Amino acid sequence: MQKSVVVLVGSGSIGQAIARRVGAGRHVVLADLRLEAAETAAKLLEDAGFETSAVAADLSSRDSLLALIDHARSFGLIANVINAAGVSPSQAPVETILKVDLYGTSVLLEEFGKVIAEGGSGVVISSQSGHRLPALPEEQNAALATAPTEELLALPFLASITDTLKAYQYSKRCNVLRVMGEAPKWARRGATVNSISPGIIITPLANDELRGPRGDGYRRMIAGMPARRAGTPDEVGDLAEFLMSSRGRWITGADFLIDGGCTASYHYGELQYLKATH
């Protein structure tokens, strides 16, 4: 019997939290650049009653994403796709950030948009970082939203980026715009697609930052946020679940900032001091 399939690309904490909320009774494909990460997540989910398979997949490669789609479709129709893969500014050089976070996410939206099931739904994890860029010229917005994927990385305003934080911010802004550009196409299949822009979410990566040399700066930022604490993957999972549920059917092409008020404080509150460095 054909199953309803959920595909998670990037099997880290945020992705797992979402998959657990939408995966019951379905086949959950856990994909990650590191097969070990996908297998670890698959074991956790299997032990909690989910049916899973784990595969290696590289978000920055169209061939790899096409192979992932073939794998997923061998189980049934792809009802949900979750993109929670990404590399952060302290993890990778500019070229890798743009290739994975910006180009890879755009290819994923394009290719899954061709096969998503009628009534299906996708979610892309962007970041509050994209909300720290000033407004871009209208022609740059349009290019990020709709330029052919294979031409994206050659756009002059992207090709000239030399700073990893800028590369991350443009990538995350692009995720939001690309979701807007793709939503009308996904709608032809009766499917919705949205992005979520989280603030500081406690994951192994964030805990490393808190224990590392930038820990004091991180703690100061968290103390200055309206919520006075970091977020949890489950809180992002709850939002994603709503967007992908029957209650979210009137929501598509939209971005949701979930950051404990960090962005509001960055622009207009006590975190304005960060503008000098971010």
Ligand X SMILES: NC(=O)c1ccc[n+]([C@@H]2O[C@H](COP(=O)([O-])OP(=O)(O)OC[C@H]3O[C@@H](n4cnc5c(N)ncnc54)[C@H](O)[C@@H]3O)[C@@H](O)[C@H]2O)c1
Binding site for ligand X (CB under 6 A): 9-15, 32-34, 37, 57-60, 84-88, 100, 104, 125, 127, 198, 200-201, 203, 205-206
Look up tokens 């899954």; give the residue. Answer: 112
Question: Length of the chain, please?
Answer: 278
Is residue 30 within 8 A of residue 6, CB to CB? The reply is no
> Cβ 223 to ligand X, closest distance in Å?
16
Catalytic residue among 99, 103, 170, 172: 172
The question of whether 103 is a catalytic residue gets the answer no
Is residue 52 within 8 A of residue 27, CB to CB? The reply is yes
Helix (H) or strand (E) holding 72: helix 62-73
Helix (H) or strand (E) holding 109: helix 105-113
| Closer by beta carbon to ligand X, 75 or else 168 | 168
| Closer by beta carbon to ligand X, 8 or else 78 | 8
The question of whether 168 is a catalytic residue gets the answer yes
> Cβ 190 to ligand X, closest distance in Å?
27
> Cβ 19 to ligand X, closest distance in Å?
12
> Cβ 163 to ligand X, closest distance in Å?
17
**Two tokens, residue 254:** 């939209």
| Closer by beta carbon to ligand X, 142 or else 223 | 223
| Closer by beta carbon to ligand X, 42 or else 87 | 87
Cα gap 261→2, rounded to integer Å = 43
Catalytic residue among 103, 168, 170, 266: 168
**Nearest 10 degrees: Cα torsion 39, 45, 49, 50:** -80
Q: Alpha-carbon Rg of the chain, whole angstroms?
A: 18
Which residues are catalytically annotated?
A: 168, 172
